[in-house]
């Protein structure tokens, strides 16, 4: 959410930003919020003047009564009562105007960074850099669930009977590999100075509205019926929510946290052939990283965050690339974002395994997260990035470490988390 003062003083810039995001239907909102803001301030001004006037003349009543001027005192009392009714009316009007103003402001997208490429959708995203050499082996690589089945590691049929499509049972070495990857990612981030956190897996609606846009919320979140609780779609939600209504001393910044959680997502819509199996599912686990920092430090942290993910994947012998998200592919709260994509030798292309985002002060404004500075308080900046999200990461891992006989090599870095195993053998 933008600062209303910024919108008031820079309406053309805000409109141009909306055009860059290809959301022209939102252009009228700029003039609407400016008009509502003016009405709110005029209402506030009238109410303040009436309060001042009421306080002033109220003091005269006692003096008039002591002087025996009862009739004049009664007239002033009547005026005070009239002013009081008008103040109540103005307060009601202002409350309604401010609610409408906030609801419209929540829909206007955040100002994107000047470096963001302009494009309508993800087909316009721009490759930044490749890390590691992508390769295609001489033998044919099966679909990822076929690899898992040969390892005796997955049961989709039972999961469909128990919970429906979009769920799975992981079994044996594959289940252990899943847990090993998460444990390795946890320690990887701790070694980089991040504090490990296990957050709540449910959050209030006020936190949901503070961390994401309404289209994202509708497409992702599961609501707990009859309660003010939602299942989290990523631990970023509860991790940023941790700081709601907080004033963080400058000396305590940056806050660098890495969190584990299960994630629950509706995943609305059809997603195509390559999203069969365990690519896009309703329940998965993830290791996340989030940063709360001073505004001047957020660009530096943005680069550090995505590099952490690249380094982790490369430590497991998986080639990756980074992709700059274009303006039309950015969620409304994001200032800048890039995807980390892993190489799929089966598909002979890269696919998304993580996303890094700088949200500027958007979440901080909605959740009232402020920094307590020597010269006053100001809004923090928030960032988040996926460390690793199996089972999607497992797809890349299995394909890139698969042998012709169906066995899978375990990279050196992961062996301590697999009981020293160097290879998984097909059954």
Please state, rounded to an integer, the average pLDDT across all residues of the chain: 93
Nearest partner of 280 among 167, 180, 150, judged by Cα: 167
**Domains along the sequence of the chain with CATH:** 4-105 (1.10.287.40), 122-424 (3.30.930.10)
pLDDT number for residue 270: 43
Q: State the pTM of this model.
A: 0.90
Q: According to the model, what pLDDT value does residue 68 have? A: 73
How confident is the model over 124-134, as a mean pLDDT? 97
Query: How far is CA 214 from its chain centroid?
Result: 12
Tokens of 425: 């053998």
The yes-or-no verdict on residue 14 having pLDDT over 60 is: yes
| Residue 365 to residue 11: CA distance in whole angstroms | 19
Tally of CA atoms within 13 A in the half-sphere of 417 that contains its CB: 21
Q: What is the pLDDT of residue 272?
A: 46
More confident residue, 271 or 213: 213
Average pLDDT over residues 194-215: 93
Evaluate if residue 104 carries a pLDDT over 90: yes
pLDDT band at 169, cuts 50/70/90?
very high
Question: Is residue 286 pLDDT above 50, yes or no?
Answer: yes
Residue at token pair 């302009």: 118
**Average pLDDT of 358-380?**
96
Give the rounded percent of residues in the chain with a pLDDT score beyond 70.
Answer: 96
pLDDT given for residue 63 in this prediction: 66
Measured from the Cβ of residue 68, the count of other Cβ atoms closer than 10 Å reads: 9
For 385-419, the pLDDT digits (tens) are 999 999 889 999 999 999 999 999 999 999 999 99
Q: Which helix (H) or strand (E) holds 154?
A: strand 154-155
Residue 357, beta-bridge partner list? 337, 384
Q: Where are the beta strands (DSSP E) in 265-348?
A: 283-293, 320-324, 336-344
Closest CA to 117 of 302, 322, 326, 299: 326
Four-point Cα dihedral 7, 12, 18, 23, nearest 10: 110
pLDDT band at 275 (very low <50, low <70, confident <90, very high): low
Q: Please name the residue that has the structure tokens 């002979």.
A: 348
Residue 86, CA atoms < 13 Å, CB-side half-sphere: 17
Residue 55: CA count within 13 A, CB half-sphere: 6
For range 18-34, the mean pLDDT: 98
For range 359-381, the mean pLDDT: 96
| Distance set, CA 287 to CA 144, 181, 184, 388, 389 (Å) | 21, 9, 10, 5, 6
**How confident is the model over 251-272, as a mean pLDDT?**
85
User: Helices marked H in 192-288 — which ranges?
Assistant: 205-211, 214-220, 235-241
CA 307 to centroid of chain Cα atoms: 19
- pLDDT given at position 338: 98
Q: What is the mean pLDDT of residues 18-33?
A: 98
Region label for 167, one of left (φ > 0), alpha (ψ between -120 and 50) or beta (otherwise): beta
Pair of tokens at residue 229: 């609780």
- pLDDT confidence band for 377 (50 / 70 / 90): very high
Each as own residue / partner, the long-range contacts of residues 118-121 (CB below 8 Å, 24 or more positions apart, any chain) are: 118/20, 118/326, 118/327, 118/328, 119/326, 119/327, 119/328, 119/329, 120/22, 120/326, 120/328, 121/326, 121/328, 121/329
Region of residue 412 (phi > 0: left; psi between -120 and 50: alpha; otherwise: beta): alpha
Q: Which tokens belong to 238? A: 């509860």
The pLDDT of residue 407: 95
Strands 247-249 and 169-170: unpaired
The pLDDT, as a whole number, for residue 80 is 81
pLDDT digits (tens, 9 = 90+) for 51-88: 888 878 776 766 667 677 777 777 878 888 888 899 99
Alpha-carbon distance of 3 to 339, in angstroms, equals 28
CA distances, 368 to each of 206, 348, 361, 377 (Å): 11, 45, 10, 11
> Which residues are paired to 126 by β-bridges?
324
Res 152 pLDDT > 60: yes
> How much of the chain exceeds pLDDT 90, in percent?
83
Q: So what's the pLDDT on residue 216?
A: 76
318 or 166, greater pLDDT? 318
- Residue 116 burial by CB count (10 A; 0-12/13-18/19+): exposed, middle or buried? buried
pLDDT in the model for residue 82? 86
């Amino acid at each position: 959410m933008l600062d209303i003062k910024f919108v008031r003083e820079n309406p053309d810039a805000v409109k141009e930003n909306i055009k860059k995001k290809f959301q022209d239907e939102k252009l009228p909102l700029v003039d609407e919020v400016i008009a509502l803001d003016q009405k709110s301030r005029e209402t506030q001004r009238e109410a303040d003047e009436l309060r001042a006037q009421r306080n002033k003349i109220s003091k005269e009543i006692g003096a008039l009564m002591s002087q025996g001027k009862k009739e004049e005192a009664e007239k002033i009392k009547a005026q005070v009562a009239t002013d009081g009714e008008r103040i109540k009316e103005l307060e009601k009007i202002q409350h309604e105007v401010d609610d409408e103003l906030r609801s419209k402001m929540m829909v206007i997208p955040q100002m994107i960074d000047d470096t963001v490429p302009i494009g309508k959708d993800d087909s316009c995203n721009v490759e930044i850099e490749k890390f590691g050499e992508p390769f295609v082996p001489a033998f044919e690589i099966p679909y990822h669930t076929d690899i898992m089945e040969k390892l005796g590691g997955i049961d989709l049929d039972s999961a469909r009977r128990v919970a429906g499509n979009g769920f799975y049972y992981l079994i044996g070495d594959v289940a252990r590999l899943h847990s090993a990857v998460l444990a390795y990612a946890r320690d990887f981030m701790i070694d980089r100075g991040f504090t490990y956190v296990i957050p709540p897996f449910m959050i209030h609606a006020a936190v949901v509205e503070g961390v994401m846009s309404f289209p994202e919320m509708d497409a992702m979140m599961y609501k707990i019926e009859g309660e003010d609780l939602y299942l989290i779609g990523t631990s970023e939600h509860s991790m940023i929510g941790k700081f709601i209504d907080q004033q963080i001393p400058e000396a305590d910044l940056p806050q660098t946290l890495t969190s584990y959680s299960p994630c629950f997502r509706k995943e609305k819509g059809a997603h195509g052939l390559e999203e069969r199996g365990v690519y896009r599912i309703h329940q998965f686990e993830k290791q996340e990283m989030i940063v709360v920092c001073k505004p001047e430090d957020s660009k530096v942290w943005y680069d550090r965050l995505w590099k952490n993910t690249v380094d982790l994947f490369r430590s497991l012998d998986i080639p990756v690339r980074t992709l700059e998200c274009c303006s039309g592919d950015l969620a409304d709260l994001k200032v800048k974002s890039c995807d980390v994509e892993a190489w799929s030798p089966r598909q002979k292309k890269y696919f998304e395994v993580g996303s890094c985002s700088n949200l500027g002060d958007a979440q901080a404004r909605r959740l009232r997260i402020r920094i307590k500075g020597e010269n006053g308080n100001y809004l923090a900046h928030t960032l988040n990035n996926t460390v690793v999200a199996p089972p999607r990461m497992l797809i890349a891992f299995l394909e890139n470490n698969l042998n012709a006989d169906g066995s899978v090599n375990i990279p050196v870095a992961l062996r301590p988390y697999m009981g020293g195993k160097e290879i998984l053998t097909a059954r």
